Chain A
Amino acid sequence: MSERVVGTERVKRGMAEMQKGGVIMDVVNAEQAKIAEAAGAVAVMALERVPSDIRKAGGVARMADPTIIEAVMNAVSIPVMAKARIGHISEARILEAMGVDYIDESEVLTPADEEFHLLKSDYVVPFVCGCRDLGEALRRIGEGASMLRTKGEPGTGNIVEAVRHMRKVNSQIRTLQTKSDDELMTFARDIGAPYTLVKEVKELGKLPVVNFAAGGVATPADAALMMSLGADGVFVGSGIFKSESPEKFARSIVRATTNYEDYTLLAELSKDLGEAMTGIEISNLAESERMQDRGW
């Protein structure tokens, strides 16, 4: 047998492929992590606060206390993700050194760098990043992201922005399919994406990494909607543990994600769930409160 090689593109992107069709849940302690795992989550995101509480708390949101992340890592056998601030090299390296399975370079936290994202290809640990359109998606992949998600509008319980971002990316991929090869450089310039990745997406007919839905998923029907729009899986942030009965919500969202086209079952899964998290109308958010505008 030859040597083991770690941190390759196949190993990093492959990890995200294994999460497909699954639900990744935000948790703030070991107890919530166990509930998520028992409900069938494919991974958990260890945080100090869920996005809706970050909104309420205001101020600067940073990487979680490593104590919380370690407690979650010790509590479950499924993968554990954690968030680093956009462009915060040291937070990312700390999380990598702790052995977290995936880092989310996330607009939910206050950006550390308003100009540059992390050079994610430099790390052994894989990264997931948010995107609102194809250009942003390909810029992140160009920097080395192994997985994407819609940005949506985190912590609002309002699916409208995630829908907008998923539709936008997929519609731009369809437009790209209709372009002739001599139009690709101009297309790449117009969307601000690396030319080689534009060519690759045209050939593949899809993104070269998985793309999950995130930012506003609050109900089983929301999860099913995002899957039917072409998401590879779903992140649920505040939606589970800010609902009235987290265990039930978690289980129902997992089943809805797998069976997103079985509408009779979705009706069953939506029954007697109790209150979902309280939603926020996006137009009521001040511009400074829009997390999706962080990063570029």
Chain B
Amino acid sequence: MVTMTKTIGVLNLQGAVREHIRALEKIGVKAVSVKKEEDFDMIDGLIIPGGESTAIGRLIREHHLEDRLRQFHQAGHAIFGTCAGLILCSTDDSHQTQDLRLGFINMEVERNGFGRQVASFETKLDFKGIERPVEAVFIRAPFIEKVGPGVSVLAEVEGRIVAAEQNNVLVTAHHPELTDDFAVLEYFMKKVS
């Protein structure tokens, strides 16, 4: 299998880092934690995990990782953002904020779009490019209000976009890493070259 030789980094500043590493290892991918600039040198793809987007964004800046992240993206490497990672990867031009937006994928985001924690839910999600519905856990999840040119919508919950891709960037509002359904992660691995 081609994916066996690939190394995926999980941005390790705050959030569900351990779960992503566990999931990657379960499908036979080498997973490493990424905390410093030089950590990017040894990875073929990157996962920006769920957590609090304000906290992670702030820590990216304080660790001076913003430029390195942009270089990594411009070099055409695959990037997968889940939940907070989705928010950080977006352009999100319609919201005025001091918080970090990396702009890797052209879309507008509604943070906590499904409501507070008591409205957090799980469901089976139809996902374009994956044959059967995937197990999906949504936690104070955002949704994608609209996507720009070049972005493909991959999944929706009651008309709200919850997964999309643009070139080598994949984003989901849900947390595949909290389940034992690795279909979305395997879908991401196809982007890693």
Contact = CB atoms under 8 A, between A and B. Distances in A.
Interface residues of A, number: 37
A78 B84 CA distance: 11
Helix, strand, loop or mixed for chain A's interface? loop
Given A20-B14, A20-B17, A20-B18, A15 B59 contact: no
B17 A21 contact: yes
A15 B117 contact: yes
Interface string B128-156: 00000100011110000000000000001
B116 A22 contact: no
Interface in B116-130: 116-126
Given A8-B122, A42-B51, A99-B116, 5 more contacts: A2-B133, A11-B139, A14-B137, A78-B55, A255-B62
B121 A77 contact: no
A207 to B, nearest CB: 13
B66 interface: no
A100 B115 CA distance: 11
Interface in B130-189: 133, 137-140, 156-158, 175, 178-179
A17 B55 contact: no
B19 A126 contact: no
Interface in A1-51: 1-8, 10-11, 14-15, 17-22, 37, 40-43
B52 A42 contact: yes
Interface of A: 1-8, 10-11, 14-15, 17-22, 37, 40-43, 77-79, 96, 99-102, 124-126, 254-255, 258
Given A15-B140, A21-B51, A258-B14, A1 B117 contact: no
A20 B10 CA distance: 14
B161 to A, nearest CB: 13
A99 B111 CA distance: 17
26 contacts: A1-B123, A1-B156, A1-B158, A4-B123, A6-B120, A7-B118, A10-B122, A10-B137, A11-B120, A14-B16, A14-B137, A15-B117, A17-B19, A18-B15, A18-B50, A18-B140, A20-B14, A20-B16, A21-B14, A21-B17, A22-B51, A40-B59, A43-B52, A255-B59, A255-B62, A258-B59
